[in-house]
Structure 1
Amino acid sequence: MAGFVPNEEIELYEEIKFEPSVMCEHIDKKLTFRASQLEDGDIICFQISPPVESYGQCRYPDVPSFLEYVHNRQVVHFRSLDKPKEDEFCLELSKLYTYDDVVERVARQLGLDDPSKIRLTSHNCYSQQPKPQPIKYRGVEHLSDMLVHYNQTSDILYYEVLDIPLPELQGLKTLKVAFHSSMKDEVVIHSIRLPKQSTVGDVINDLKTKVELSHPNAELRLLEVFYHKIYKIFPPNEKIENINDQYWTLRAEEIPEEEKNLGPHDRLIHVYHFTKDASQNQMVQNFGEPFFLIIHEGETLAEVKVRIQKKLQVPDEEFVKWKFAFLSLGRPEYLQDSDIVSSRFQRRDVYGAWEQYLGLEHSDSAPKRAYAANQNRHTFEKPVKIYN
């Protein structure tokens, strides 16, 4: 009879439960229902027994293994970290897959020979963005660990293809440093990759091989910038392992020759751009690129303004609209051209130098994103290039 399958080729199983874990037991066909404890409503699964010689070739050779597969099956949407809003491909995986299983299948999908060059990043279910920190090499046990975010489970993972294996990369520290050229009206962002035990001095030496300096013996310094204020000048011997460039901007620049020869009464002050927000009770809002400026004893604001205009290359018709103020802890005290600027910078009762600065009040005309192709920008609104 067509389609007839002998009884001895049928395997029977009882599906006892599916959640939270699969429980499925083999049924002995020689026993009665009562002996097998089978009752009305129980689920019986059957399969045709595979040939013994092909048993090991089957991915799911019996009902229990197939139910385990269905129970742990997970379709994952993979996105390139460079394009975090677009699905690149989907893979049907198991939640029980190990870290190595997952990266191996991603590498296979991408046609990559070395899975260790794949770096994965989990998804933040609340922000709908990649998590700030990528998954470390073998840093999680299973796919299910990669997809969980607090009490939520995602079906999205982000991937990168690295130029060196991830275990090797994890022994290095990568810092994004914005180099502010003294000769060009642009900012170039460089990725500096060095062993974690390296120092700021090593970063500067590496950067010197990548940038164009005004002269061969130019000295560089590394600054920490946050919300358009300079918070720190890194000492050359500081270890880079603990430097965080995730929220802070690291900025490198040449040290002007005049700053190397400060007189006994000269002061190096912070200068920031600011506006006042009418919607927030005239609160000061900083913007643009902060910088240092030397002020000399007895120098008037009118004399300081000449040097600032030259440094920032601001046209006369725009510069005449600017206002100048001394700010301490966010409170502006507007200055007149005849005021002696150095007399305002005598206080020592402030938290840090960044909270006592010369403020340049003017409109923030810079676009939210500036590019090097725009050649007509002022230096206080420098366009940006990114080099990897």
Structure 2
Amino acid sequence: MIDLSDNENPWTIFLETVDPEMAASGATLPKFDKDHDVMLFLKMYDPKTRSLNYCGHIYTPISCKIRDLLPVMCERAGFQQETSLILYEEVKPNLTERIQDYDVSLDKALDELMDGDIIVFQKDDPESDSSELPTAKDYFRDLYHRVDVIFCDKTIHNDPGFVVTLSNRMNYFQFFKSQGYRDGPGNPLRHNYEGTLRDLLQFFKPRQPKKLYYQQLKMKITDFENRRSFKSIWLNSQFREEEITLYPDKHGCVRDLLEECKKAVELSEKGSDKLLEIVSYKIIGVHQEDELLECLSPAASRTFRIEEIPLDQVELDKDSEMLIPVAHFHKEVFGTFGIPFLLKIRQGESFREVMRRIQTMLDLQEKEFEKFKFAIVMMGRHQYITEDEYEVNLKDFEQPGNMSHPRPWLGLDHFNKAPKRGRYTYLEKAIKIHN
């Protein structure tokens, strides 16, 4: 008892009692000779229902032959007395041995015979061969490898998921035909993964819930493996942003990405789109269609945005017209915010005309737009524009001689009414860890 009390595992105790009504009439427990008798537990396995049924216990002499127990088993299971049975010894959870010889005594038929040994029996029925788990040995093997796994939809934040009982021996197609994400979620699992579920769950603690993430795809899993996930922002015609995930060919180029985008969004008739790169709420470049996607590595400090090319920007006169990046700031040019955009300007046009186009694009009332100031920003310094005097000079917005320097941009100086924290920020608040 002292050894048992030091064991952290739960105790399993078998307690036999006498029926109270029978005890009142003087009934007692059957006599048991600990030197010559043995107590055995009986279980019946049903292949049709894949279930194990407890059939009580028996006291029998050690010298008793296995065949002498068959009538008792048939009676306990409700079988006819002449029913042919297959017997197994349940040695431990992962070890079940078939009893071959029924004409030998218990001490020779069972390995290390002792009180509490378990005999499992089932009908010797040829029809059981077509069952998923035809024998008790198959059942115990399946039971030993059985594990509960929580499946969570990775596209739903804090999805509680649903529980599925699986086997550690299952391969990919048996347990996860169209989805496969580990806890985290981590890296995607290839559909031709040759390992078993046990290999995937080996890093979980024994009592830790086993959790797999899944995602329903719009394509065959075999096609998906040749593509890469590309997260970007779609800017619609109402100047509103929407986060989308596209799956272009992993060896493709920007053109392939834009074609995939056309399947996910609505463009105007004969409309075309382009890919922009945004850092700190500023457009730093437009990627060419023949540029390889493998060169566009994701980073927390930058965002890729796809938008439809406005009709007035489809064709440009390179000698007299230019697309310039426009961004919002308030007092300090490093404090950019909002949605940046591209604007077409013309050599020598009045800046008042440029302002009118900006007001139309942003859909602002005159009273609100009057609070805006405009500046040309280059190398972190800004120079405010005198609205009535300035005429557009394309050279003011040309790339400096040193290509490593950022391109000048047009700044809109006004108060930021939106929440301070946004999508493009790269200065994250520190995480405090208290020991």
**Structure-1 separation of matches of 2:173 and 2:294:** 27
1 CA distance for matches of 2:57 and 2:202? 46
- 2:122 match: 50
Query: Secondary structure at the residue paired with 1:158?
Result: strand
Contact map agreement 2:228 2:247 (CA 8 A) in 1: yes
Q: Separation in 2 of the partners of 1:362 and 1:84?
A: 35
**Is the CA contact 1:99–1:140 (under 8 Å) kept in the aligned structure 2?**
yes
Shift in Å, 1:101: 1.8
Which sections of structure 2, spanning at least 5 residues, go unmatched?
1-29, 31-55, 70-86, 423-435
Partner residue in 2 for 1:120:
180
Q: State the 1:310 CA deviation.
A: 3.1
> What are the superposed Cα offsets for residues 249-271 of structure 1, whole Å, 9 maximum, x if unpaired?
33132154357333536543221
Match of 1:358 among 404, 407, 410: 410
* Contact 2:91/2:97 (<8 A) preserved: yes
Q: Structure 2 CA distance, aligned partners of 1:82 and 1:164?
A: 16
Structure 1 match to 2:35: none
**Residue of structure 2 in register with 1:139 after alignment:** 193
Task: Report matched runs for 1:301-320 at 5 Å.
Answer: 304-320=354-370
Q: CA deviation at 1:345?
A: 3.6
Partner of 1:81: 154
**CA distance in structure 2 between the aligned counterparts of 1:264 and 1:169, rounded to whole angstroms:** 45
Percent of aligned positions with the same letter in both sequences? Answer: 22
Match of 1:136, as an amino acid? R
For 1:53, the aligned partner's letter is D
Q: Tell me the SS of whatever aligns to 1:293.
A: strand
Displacement after TM superposition at 1:335 (Å): 1.1
C-alpha separation in 2, matches of 1:327 and 1:147 = 54
With structure 1 as the length reference, what TM-score do the two structures score? 0.63
Question: Does 2:225 match 1:170?
Answer: yes
Q: Is the 8 A contact 1:222 1:253 kept in 2?
A: no
Larger RCO (CA within 8 A; separation ≥ 6): 1
Q: 1:234 aligns with which of 270, 287, 302?
A: 287
C-alpha spacing 1:120/1:49, structure 2 compared with 1 (3 Å): same
Q: 1:250 aligns with which of 305, 308, 325?
A: 305
Distance in 1 (CA, whole Å) between partners of 2:204 and 2:296 is 27
- State the partner residue of 1:333: 382
| 1:240 Cα deviation from its structure 2 partner | 4.9
Asked whether the 8 Å contact 2:376–2:385 carries over to 1, the reply is no
Q: Which residue of 2 aligns with 1:287?
A: 337
- Give a deviation string over 1:216-259, Cα, whole Å, max 9, x none: 4x554332345433344232233557656796333132154357
Q: Which string of whole-angstrom CA distances, capped at 9 and with x for unpartnered residues, describes residues 12-59 of structure 1? A: 4654xx8xxx678899986979xx7x69xx997522233443775584
Note closer, same or farther for the CA distance 1:165–1:51 as it changes in structure 2 (3 Å cut).
same
SS in 1 for 2:166: strand
Q: Which amino acid aligns with 2:119?
A: Q
Change (3 A) 1:136 1:299: same
Instruction: Give the structure 2 partner of residue 268 of structure 1.
Output: 323
Go from structure 1 to structure 2 and tell me whether the alpha carbon gap of 1:52 and 1:208 turns closer, same or farther (over 3 Å shift). closer
Secondary structure, counterpart of 2:339 in structure 1: strand
CA contact (8 A) 2:89 2:120 kept: no
* Change beyond 3 A, Cα 1:168–1:339: same
Offset of 1:326 from its aligned partner?
Answer: 3.8
Give the corresponding residue for 1:100. Answer: 173
The answer as to whether partners of 1:84 and 1:158 remain within 8 angstroms in 2 is: no
3-state SS of 2:283 partner? strand
Between the aligned partners of 1:274 and 1:226, the Cα distance in structure 2 is: 14
Pair 1:159-2:214 in alignment:
yes
The residue number in structure 2 matching 1:386 is: none
How many residues align? The count is 331
Q: 1:324 to 1:7 in 2, by over 3 A?
A: farther
Superposed counterparts of 1:34-45, under 5 Å: 45=117
User: What is the CA distance between 1:102 and its match in structure 2?
Assistant: 0.7
SS in 2 for 1:261: coil
Seen in structure 2, the aligned counterparts of structure 1 residues 237 and 258 have a Cα distance that, compared at 3 Å, is closer
> Does the 8 A contact of 1:300 with 1:341 survive in 2?
yes
2:289 match: secondary structure: coil
Distance 1:235 1:358, change over 3 A: same
Q: Report the Cα offset of residue 360 of structure 1.
A: 2.0
Deviations 1:265-306 (A, max 9, x none): 654322112347xxxxx7834332221234455667666434
Say yes or no: does 1:90 pair with 2:163.
yes
Normalised to the residue count of structure 2, the TM-score between the two structures is: 0.57
- Counterpart residue identity of residue 363, structure 1: F
Q: For the aligned residues, what is the CA RMSD?
A: 4.8
One-letter code aligned to 1:251: I
